[in-house]
Structure 1
Amino acid sequence: MTIAPEAPHATHRRREFTDNDGHPVGYGRMLRKEDPRFVRGQGKYVDDVVLPGMLHLAILRSPVAHARILSIDTSAAEAHPKVKAVVTGADLAKQGLAWMPTLSNDVQAVLVTDKVRFQGQEVAFVVAEDRYSARDALELIDVEYDVLPAVADVRNALAPDAPVIRDDLDGKKDNHCFDWETGDEAATAKVFDEAQVKVTQDMVYPRVHPAPMETCGCVADFERVAGKLTLWCTSQAPHAHRTLYALVAGIPEHKIRVISPDIGGGFGNKVPIYPGYVCSVVASIVTGKPVKWMEDRAENLISTGFARDYVMRGEIAATKDGRIQAIRTNVLADHGAFNGTAAPVKYPAGFFGVFTGSYDLDAAYCKMTAVYTNKAPGGVAYACSFRITEAVYLVERLVDCLAYELKMDPAELRRKNFIRPEQFPYTTQTGWVYDSGEYERTLDKAMELADYAGLRREQAQRREHGELMGIGMSFFTEAVGAGPRKDMDILGLGMADGCELRVHPTGKAVVRLSVQSQGQGHETTFAQIVAEELGIPPEDIDVVHGDTDNTPFGLGTYGSRSTPVSGAAAALVARKVRDKARIIASGMLECSIADLEWEKGSFHVTGDPTQSVTIQDIAMRAHGAGDLPEGLEAQICYNPENLTYPFGCYICVVDVDPGTAVVKVRKFVAVDDCGTQINPMIIEGQVQGGCAEGVGMALMQMIAFDEDGNCLSASFMDYLIPTALEVPHWINGSTVTPSPHHPIGAKGVGESATVGSPPAVVNAVIDALAPFGIRHADMPLTPSRVWDAMQGHPTPSF
């Protein structure tokens, strides 16, 4: 029997890509290298891991949001014939494992020892021979709760009579978590005192959930003889997780291996360390067997990391002709029962300091107060760079409110106040240094693609017939690529990333990264970066990630760190290899290094292209006999000198049904500038996915609670996510403004769309409702909320 070789996959095809002005950008469109295994159903996720003798873990979760534990009786569960262990918080406390650090230097209970602080909190766990027996045994555990009053609304958390949630903290007598401020309060107050026009708007960014395709889980395997722990884990930051497991469990870090295989979406949800991970480690140590824990959808929605949940008062000051002078805001941030915010220690409120947006201001000031509530810990970087989504939403809603007040076109108001290209690098009034930007060019591109003038004419005609059509715009500047390490760390771990590259004798290469893909196409993007630097075909470059034993140390993927940090590391390590190859080539060609010229993939003697050697020739010689440098490999740790600042302009068109208040997104234009583009096809895909998330957040998504702290959004029947029916055909565009300090000029784009799309959608809906005199309504703009807003102004003025 003869088996024909499989035909080369279409990933080998490349073609040049041009932007909307016809200029070549990027390294060329190339189909993703990782897709063949996914489309064939051959991806490997944590739940696919099956080990000999593996046991299964299930977690008993509290049905109430706030209660003291009076007693726990586990005897019936322990008697179950398939149960191997039942562990409570008291059991962990005896081993010093009852509490673990969070990413914000707070502590969180692994299992409850004193009292429950949110619905769904971990109370005990069962280890059994199979998943079903473990789940069944949870019903046999008898817990007596003394239910306490709960605080579910952040606006009530600091009331004098509010029950204290974190009484585990010494001397804690209220629910205050921290205060943070940025900008110049006095200078901003002076500008407001003298301003001709002032607009104030209260707004809420509701609690939302990343809702990844794959929920969180892990398989822990502790080898007692070797004292080695291997953990297959749904982690966006394997190396950071390894360090924390060493701190919590006391296992030497070099004896811990964390493997993150294929991850079915992360969006920030898989950055934190959850108690379930620690419970699995403990269970494997106790039983001497591998133990798997996989949460179900309800557990994921109720107990894992949330985002947003900000109550904001924004103020904007301007002249009568529309020059914005200052922005001021006061923010109340709900951090849940434990502060699990994934943000650099120096910035407890994350990067909210970019609330000044893309505008040249005279002054700005923000005060934030974070509080504890009886909810699951919040603050994950859900598809945003540490609270930038909320910051952009605030400023873009304020700008539209100002446009409404001044009766100016929102696009022209933005144009009038942009930071100009010659002002870059631009230091904002809150101290952030924007690297580069040509904002007006991007605005013009978006308006052209949307036919903005034509839309406004159409809107005027439709309003004559009583139709509710809205046009919304947002313009955002994002801060991504967390680093440099001198300013940014999590639990003392600096935000720098390593990269290793080895070219084998036959010219094939392996690049090892410290970032972890959750679907962004890392195996393609990083291969293209190295290919561009060395001239090795991308299909000959293997990208390794997600295994702490086989990759260099780094802080993982979130906050759009991949290309701005590890992409830079990949380019620089390839250049180090190229420099080494130059030395070998000079020996092969018997000329000085200075006499060599590089053309992608080969060196030749200056003035004589016929005297040349390819990178493949050099790789073979580097591993051969002789006195030339041995091997063709290098490693680097890249510590960025600054963040990168991608930006974009989004225009959304909606229709609101006056009879049902249903909002239909008819058209959406997204023009992004992420600096140098690696693979435009992957960029477009990420932007389209992010825009879908933004439509969901703006129109339907909210994790809701009743006054007793019961979560009302524990399934996809209650927590709605957008489908193909709710989103339009996206219109993508781009401009290219490279970052001056990044080795290849790339800025990152993975989270831009979730930053820019929610305010664009909300601005469009409010614009549609302008005849009713409505200036603001809070997300999600469900039909009931839109209907209520319309009923408050029953006589529209068309």
Structure 2
Amino acid sequence: MTIVEEHTPNPAAGDEHRPIGYGRLQRKEDPRFVRGKGHYVDDIVLPGMLHGAILRAPVAHARLVSIDTTQALANPKVVAVITGKDLEGLGLAWAPTLSYDVQAVLVTDKVRFQGQEVAFVVAEDRYAARDALELIDVEYEVLPPLVDARKALDPDAPVIRDDLEGRTDNHIFDWEAGDAAETDAVFASADVVVSQEVVYPRVHPAPMETCGAVADFDPIDGKLTLYETSQAPHAHRTIFAMVAGIPEQKIRIVSPDIGGGFGNKVGIYPGYILATVGSIVTGRPVKWMEDRSENLMSTSFARDYIMQGEIAATKDGKILGLRTNVLADHGAFNATAQPTKYPAGFFHIFTGSYDLQAAYCKVTGVYTNKAPGGVAYACSFRVTEAVYLVERMVDALARRLDMDPAELRLKNFIRPEQFPYPNKTGWEYDSGDYEKTMRLSMEIAGYDELRREQEERRARGELMGIGISFFTETVGAGPRKHMDILGLGMADGAELRVHPTGKAVVRISVQSQGQGHETTFAQIVSEELGIPPEDIQVVHGDTDQTPFGLGTYGSRSTPVSGGAVALVARKVREKAKFIAAAMLETRPEDLEWEKGRWFVKGDPSVGKTMAEIALGAVGTIELPEGIDGNLDAEVTYDPPNLTFPYGAYICVVDVDPGTGVVKVRRFIAVDDCGTRINPMIIEGQVHGGLTDGVGMALMEIIEFDEDGNNLGGSFMDYLIPTAMEVPNWETGYTVTPSPHHPIGAKGIGESATVGSPPAIVNAIIDALSPLGVTTIDMPCTPARVWEAMQGRATPPV
């Protein structure tokens, strides 16, 4: 693995002894994972626990005529069978989604996608529950399915959401950003306009651990304890209170270790509700864990955008404007986890990293007979689709102008002096030096030499391609004045206490799904207070033990909760100043801070360390007025703006001319995530995201046949990358801190997934360009690549 680093001074790290930026602190959580001692939902066993299983619809669209549970209930190991009619009696047949839609918990009227939940069996063990599903007799009246979003708004298309009053079509929303008239004028005056349809197919997060829950309702005190695979436990608790009518203070959500999430574990699935109902009905704990096919068929997908893009420019390569018309397939229910005001997420970031005169986008959402949702799968609310569109369009423009794609990008980047930069769809980019990052990636790649090598290989008839993408991402969902989910503002809390012995515990509202929170947040506290990271415990994933917050997705952990942790540590540090002053019998304003201690100005030998101050806080000294006897604090951080990490990626591929097999030979990724907290964790995040990108670009897709059957319901059909398909990643970095973030951090968890697919696809098109290929849709499987080589792909207009 090659790591090439641009040694830019890190403003948050003054020297190599400080915990942020320079140190490669090993992850504190890893010992339990590498020893197989992680604690997952499926590891939980409670006294008297029962097991639940879901009967799922075999068809995509059908009326529910009848359901007979007699034989299942006759099974001696079956304790209960719950149907939609039962839930209607409890007022739980329908539940709100994260997009102000409603979703059936169990079918009451008709099936709307294959794999939809029809009935729930509770039995003495998992096997008995699964076996009893076969004993339920269901009669369906099959209806015509709709799986092509392009046909969703046809007058004769079957209406999927006929449960909604007045619904006569499959339209969900129209949303737009930018100035349409201004953009039209720019396009009318342009020398060159390139149009192209760009499809981002439906893919799935496919986490290692599938979704599940263990519900334990205590009928005596009315308290519900729910162990969940949740990325947003506090949001789940509030929504459960709204849905089930259980007082929120009586609900405890616990998210233990999570085996990956990538957005798949943001929403509230019917299985969570059914496990809860099962526990209420039986009076015993109930566990529900889905299998892999259930996860792929029925939990939240990602992408599924059909984008018609246009780019306008002068004949010498100055990009003037962008516009797009997007069709978004949201499945049978609009359960997309996105901010309320932005039903298409942050697609307006499709302006990319370029200084434009105008831009306009329109997104139309539609219902189809597919699984619902649409998650922030390792991206920040549709930024991945937006970046994919603009970077494909920039390459299409470079081909039209016969310009080098790197040169075209360098010509059009937003310049450092233009920041903070208001883009043409309403957002203000915080900071950046795009040219520096691009040139570093070209230096690592040996770009000029690569192009010479490509010419030599083409002369020999070999198909070698070089692809580029440059992305600006928008992450750190907030501030709450702009963003909410179901009215819940996107701010995060943090609580910090320094114990009398000088050890500390920080409680955060985001939930780790593998990012290393227990290490990263300890490092932030250590940076601010001087306490060693190993002496700082990070608590998360339990609503009874942590402050309220909106959870982990959209790369918001460090930009939002990281900001909260830095601020709460500073609040504790300021409180410690007053306590130290009392201990030293001086005034607070006469003290200075240095490496974990307050000391008297002009006399560094007289001071108190944080450990001494923590002990003094609970001792016998007389504390100043307004200072209590604990060294602790709490804050809620409402960020003033999003953060905008960015990166320059270069991919080199070889295509087998006989089979169409694509080999990613080299991949260079240079990222700028602002202040770097732990370089090792950053590299791990980047490597994982790049691997994600290879999967989406080359092999991952959830397809459906004309009857609505899911063709990607197992890992035999839904392929994910292994070590065999990825190269040795070559990574580098620059550092441009966010000016408004407390420590200058921007976030890194999703950048590589955003930037890698367009780089790979652009490389493939570049490799095939001698054959006249100008476009290809993901995934670029050998069959698709071979077809493109035969001239069957649709060229840009």
- Output the TM-score relative to the length of structure 1: 0.97
Which of 304, 317, 330 is the matching residue for 2:312? 317
Q: Does 1:545 align with 2:531?
A: no
CA contact (8 A) 2:445 2:668 kept: yes
Structure 2 residues not aligned, in runs of 5+? 14-20
Match runs of 1:35-114 below 5 Å: 35-114=30-109
Cross-structure match for 1:788: 787
Q: Aligned partners of 1:216, 1:335: CA distance in 2, in Å? A: 20
Q: Aligned partners of 1:160, 1:793: CA distance in 2, in Å? A: 31
Residue identity opposite 1:213 in structure 2? M
Name the stretch that deviates more: 151-160 or 527-536.
Answer: 151-160
Q: Does 1:676 align with 2:675?
A: yes
Q: Secondary structure at the match of 2:317?
A: coil
CA contact (8 A) 1:676 1:738 kept: yes
Cross-structure match for 1:6: none
Cross-structure match for 1:244: 239
Q: Does 1:207 align with 2:202?
A: yes
Q: Secondary structure at the match of 1:665?
A: strand
Q: Does 1:636 align with 2:631?
A: no
CA contact (8 A) 1:384 1:754 kept: yes
Q: Secondary structure at the match of 1:28?
A: coil
CA contact (8 A) 1:264 1:518 kept: yes
Which of 219, 223, 230 is the matching residue for 1:228? 223
Report deviation, 1:584.
Answer: 1.0
Q: Aligned partners of 1:686, 1:757: CA distance in 2, in Å? A: 13
Q: Does 1:588 align with 2:583?
A: yes
Cross-structure match for 1:337: 332
Residue identity opposite 2:760 in structure 1? V
CA contact (8 A) 1:334 1:378 kept: no
Cross-structure match for 1:492: 487
Q: Does 1:617 align with 2:612?
A: yes
Q: Aligned partners of 2:63, 2:9: CA distance in 1, in Å? A: 65
Cross-structure match for 2:722: 723
Q: Aligned partners of 1:391, 1:22: CA distance in 2, in Å? A: 29
Match runs of 1:354-753 below 5 Å: 354-628=349-623, 629=627, 630-753=629-752
Which of 244, 249, 255 is the matching residue for 2:250? 255
Q: Aligned partners of 2:398, 2:373: CA distance in 1, in Å? A: 33
Residue identity opposite 1:760 in structure 2? A
Q: Aligned partners of 2:322, 2:663: CA distance in 1, in Å? A: 32
CA contact (8 A) 1:697 1:758 kept: yes
Q: Aligned partners of 1:781, 1:515: CA distance in 2, in Å? A: 36
Q: Aligned partners of 1:162, 1:236: CA distance in 2, in Å? A: 36
Q: Secondary structure at the match of 1:206?
A: strand
Aligned-CA RMSD value: 1.0
CA contact (8 A) 1:51 1:290 kept: yes
Report deviation, 1:390.
Answer: 0.2
1:193-237 Cα deviation digits (max 9, x unpaired) = 111000000111000000000000000000000100000000000
Q: Secondary structure at the match of 1:312?
A: strand
Q: Secondary structure at the match of 1:757?
A: helix
Residue identity opposite 1:423 in structure 2? Q
Cross-structure match for 2:17: none
Cross-structure match for 1:769: 768
Q: Aligned partners of 2:284, 2:792: CA distance in 1, in Å? A: 65
Report deviation, 1:626.
Answer: 2.2
Q: Secondary structure at the match of 1:708?
A: coil
Report deviation, 1:605.
Answer: 1.1
Cross-structure match for 1:269: 264
Cross-structure match for 2:6: 20
Q: Secondary structure at the match of 2:23?
A: strand
Cross-structure match for 1:10: none
Report deviation, 1:18.
Answer: 9.9
Residue identity opposite 1:666 in structure 2? R
Cross-structure match for 2:18: none
Q: Secondary structure at the match of 2:570?
A: helix
Identity of aligned residues (%): 75
CA contact (8 A) 1:425 1:433 kept: yes
Q: Secondary structure at the match of 1:769?
A: helix
Q: Aligned partners of 1:487, 1:306: CA distance in 2, in Å? A: 25
CA contact (8 A) 2:203 2:303 kept: yes
Q: Aligned partners of 2:661, 2:361: CA distance in 1, in Å? A: 35
Residue identity opposite 1:600 in structure 2? K
Q: Secondary structure at the match of 1:220?
A: strand
Q: Aligned partners of 1:607, 1:773: CA distance in 2, in Å? A: 74
Report deviation, 1:19.
Answer: 4.0
CA contact (8 A) 1:445 1:671 kept: yes
Q: Aligned partners of 1:460, 1:380: CA distance in 2, in Å? A: 42
1:88-140 Cα deviation digits (max 9, x unpaired) = 00110111110000000000000000000000000001000000000000000
1:234-274 Cα deviation digits (max 9, x unpaired) = 00000000011111111000000000000000000000000
CA contact (8 A) 1:27 1:532 kept: no
Aligned length: 778
Residue identity opposite 2:695 in structure 1? G
Report deviation, 1:627.
Answer: 1.2
Residue identity opposite 2:541 in structure 1? G
Report deviation, 1:491.
Answer: 0.3
Residue identity opposite 1:20 in structure 2? E
Report deviation, 1:666.
Answer: 0.4
CA contact (8 A) 1:772 1:793 kept: no
Q: Secondary structure at the match of 2:688?
A: helix
Q: Aligned partners of 1:779, 1:102: CA distance in 2, in Å? A: 29
Q: Secondary structure at the match of 2:72?
A: helix
Name the stretch that deviates more: 765-774 or 288-297.
Answer: 765-774
Alignment CA distance shift 1:489-1:705 (3 Å) = same
CA contact (8 A) 1:512 1:545 kept: yes
Structure 1 residues not aligned, in runs of 5+? 1-16
CA contact (8 A) 1:157 1:373 kept: yes
Which of 114, 122, 127 is the matching residue for 1:127? 122
Q: Aligned partners of 1:747, 1:772: CA distance in 2, in Å? A: 41
Q: Does 1:192 align with 2:157?
A: no
Cross-structure match for 1:759: 758
1:477-498 Cα deviation digits (max 9, x unpaired) = 0000011111100000000000
Name the stretch that deviates more: 347-356 or 601-610.
Answer: 601-610
1:693-715 Cα deviation digits (max 9, x unpaired) = 00100000000000111100000
Cross-structure match for 1:8: none
CA contact (8 A) 2:660 2:786 kept: yes
Report deviation, 1:21.
Answer: 3.1
Q: Secondary structure at the match of 2:265?
A: coil
CA contact (8 A) 1:354 1:391 kept: yes
Report deviation, 1:300.
Answer: 0.0
Residue identity opposite 1:786 in structure 2? V
CA contact (8 A) 2:4 2:444 kept: no
